[in-house]
Amino acid sequence: MTSFADLGLSPKLLKALEKTTLKQPTPIQVQAIPHVMQGRDLMGLAQTGTGKTAAFGLPLLHRLLDIGHPPGPRNVRALILAPTRELVTQISDNLTIFTKGTPVKVVTVVGGASLNRQAMALARGADVLVATPGRLIDLLERGDVSLQNTGYLVLDEADHMLDMGFIHALRKIAKHIPLKRQTLLFSATMPKDIEEIAGTYLRDPVRVQVAPPGKPAEKIVQGVHFIPNGDKAKLLEEYLKKHPGEQALVFGRTKHGSEKLCKLLAQWGFKVGSIHGNKSQNQRDRTLTEFRNNELDVLVATDVAARGIDIPGVRHVYNYDLPNVPENYVHRIGRTARAGAEGNAVAFCAPAEMGELQAIEKVLKKQIPVIGGAPWAADIVAAAPKPGQNRGQRPGGGRPGQKPQGQKPQGARPQGKPQGQRPEHQSQAPKPQPKPGAKPARPMGGGGAPTRSGNGGKPRQQGAGRRG
């Protein structure tokens, strides 16, 4: 069996690894590390939880240790870009462990944190800068950082970066980096756009792949439960009570709906927290720390948490709302069964989500086993609201003392005011005599194009996610 020492890593890195839980390199690490150490551009494909961070981080640090002098004021030697704050933090935490006892300096910049403090951290330069694209552009525009001497560029979770609208930010950042560089691209899925990105930014890359794109970890037991939208909360409560003391991640479609579900679960006595785009960075960090320290049993999140959360204790993932982007399903359930452990993933499917379920199964190249209910008939699916209407907005319930939400038809208005819709009192007020030619009123439950998790129902615009 291959060891980290067999890969030729620096003795200083090997010493740091001895103090971690990493004892043997994973397949993606075995394949990628030698190529990166040789200076080759590389495209790495592997599902979440397989050790991609060490696959690019260890050989990158190995090469930086050989330089032997500081990078210079505001200069960056290696740049690692990731789409979410959580993923940036995870990468930075791992690199900090690997560099313990070495002169290598790792700096992190993300949106939602003090721009001035980040500028001060970069004043003396950084060997490795881990950043979200939006915040890095802010610092570049202020002149707080220079990429003129950056010899290494890593794009982690590149497919998710494209999905979040960072392609324009990536192009802007790439103009600041020398063409003579080593570029590494890592992703868990392989949409067509990634091939184009690789052709643009990588030179004669080596391609390493340890699992077919879109394939989840083998030890994840998957299942789908067909359930009306209004009954999902009670079903979730039943599942959570079956596994007391075991940590669970619950994914919702919208910021608004996820927060309402979190509050409902808290009322029912669960130790629960939430992270989504409406939370400040400090709130998100604090909640993740509490979850990591087992102070919380349940974490409700939008797709902001689908990547970048590496918590070995997560045993259950519940897709309360199915994702619009089918590849995100793979990343969501990849939060369990980390590093070879076992885990369970249950998808809740309402009539309006049959299209999403079919798209997910197409990516998986197999059907998800049915563990509850029965697939919805075509007429029920046809009568369900269109995507973006009354979906993921209301946790439902039917608990004593609450309105019997689960008995409402699929087209009923959710409680509360979803993001991006008219105020509730306006949409409910009857308009007995609409003027000829007036704009039609929105249907009950909201309308518009399909939304993406964590975006509050607002359409994604160019440069979305700029806040990092």
Per-residue pLDDT tens digits for 182-193: 999 998 777 677
Higher pLDDT, 273 or 465: 273
220-383: CATH architecture: 3-Layer(aba) Sandwich (3.40)
Q: How many C-beta atoms surround the C-beta of residue 138 within 10 A?
A: 20
Four-residue CA torsion sign, 255, 346, 324, 336 = positive
How much is the average pLDDT of 216-224? 80
Q: Is the pLDDT assigned to residue 403 strictly greater than 60?
A: no
Residue 465: which pLDDT band, with cuts at 50, 70 and 90? very low
Superfamily of structural domain 5-209? P-loop containing nucleotide triphosphate hydrolases (3.40.50.300)
d(CA 464, CA 342): 35
Distances (CA, A) of 207 to 32, 41, 186, 295: 9, 9, 10, 41
Give the pLDDT confidence score for residue 155 in this predicted structure: 94
| Domains of the chain by residue range | 5-209, 220-383
Answer whether 0.85 is exceeded by the pTM: no
- For 75-103, write each residue's pLDDT tens digit: 999 999 998 888 898 899 999 999 988 89
Residue 353: which pLDDT band, with cuts at 50, 70 and 90? very high
Q: Do 5-209 and 220-383 agree at the fold level?
A: yes
Higher pLDDT, 202 or 280: 202
